[in-house]
Amino acid sequence: MQNRYAGDVGDFGKYGLLRCLCGEPPLLSLGVVWYLVSDEPHVQDGKHTRYLARDRERRFRASDPELYDALRKVVSDRREVAAVERSGVLGDAAFFSKPVDTGSRDAWLREALNAVAGRELVFLDPDNGLEMGATRLDSPHGGKFCGYQEVREFFYAGASVALHQHLGQSDPVESQVAWLCRELTGKVAPPLPPFALQFHRGTTRVFLVLPQQRHAETIRRGIERLMASPWHKHFTGPLGLFP
């Protein structure tokens, strides 16, 4: 996550999904690990805020008016994850916003685990998603990725885990999701199969979910709420084997 992305259309989908998964009133307590890295102003992305324009309001605001209005304020003021935290859109979530330290990644991970300890749903928000063979986690760009072992650590600390994942353009979404779910199953070994929801606005992305057995029914109901609401115009899923 980069501060300059705060409040973009990807954030709108991300927080909308988390609000549905946690329930109202919150049935699952939430922790967010931002995987914060330095802004890259030379890269011309992070501008996906047209969804907040007045001519787009009718299309998007109906999904979650409170969230929509709050993110409009974030974008019009100072775009940073701290503004999202202050907005209250994620309730009493516990946040870990220390930038990823690729030189001392194990120590950084220990701090992150402590910051969200006891939370029932933990959301991991790396820029790109799960680690790729071409990029080492301890390399200069490693902070943009989440390690499979890191997912395992959060999961076996007792939390259901959700995470942000960008997809490539060459292969069908379903085949990419199937591959990612197989990798998560093999490397994390959750008792229930992981699955994904695709968000259709902005860049091609999914949100991967690894539910704990004791949270599976709450998560299932949350997804039913999502897909029975105006959000269904923006999401497809669940993809993969859904418990």
pLDDT, tens digit (0-9, with 9 covering 90-100), for 128-143: 999 987 778 888 888 8
Question: Quick one: pLDDT at residue 123?
Answer: 98
Mean pLDDT of the 60-80 span: 92
- The span from the CA of 137 to the CA of 122, in Å, is 20
Mean pLDDT of the 182-205 span: 93
Say whether pTM exceeds 0.95.
no
Which of 56 and 43 is assigned the larger pLDDT?
A: 56
Q: What mean pLDDT value characterizes the chain?
A: 91
Question: Quick one: pLDDT at residue 1?
Answer: 75
Mean pLDDT of the 96-118 span: 94
| pLDDT higher than 60, residue 31 | yes
Of 138-142, 199-203, 233-237, give the range with the top mean pLDDT. 233-237
Question: Quick one: pLDDT at residue 243?
Answer: 46
pLDDT band at residue 5 using 50, 70 and 90 as cut-offs: confident
| pLDDT higher than 50, residue 63 | yes
Which of 214 and 170 is assigned the larger pLDDT?
A: 214
Mean pLDDT of the 97-123 span: 94
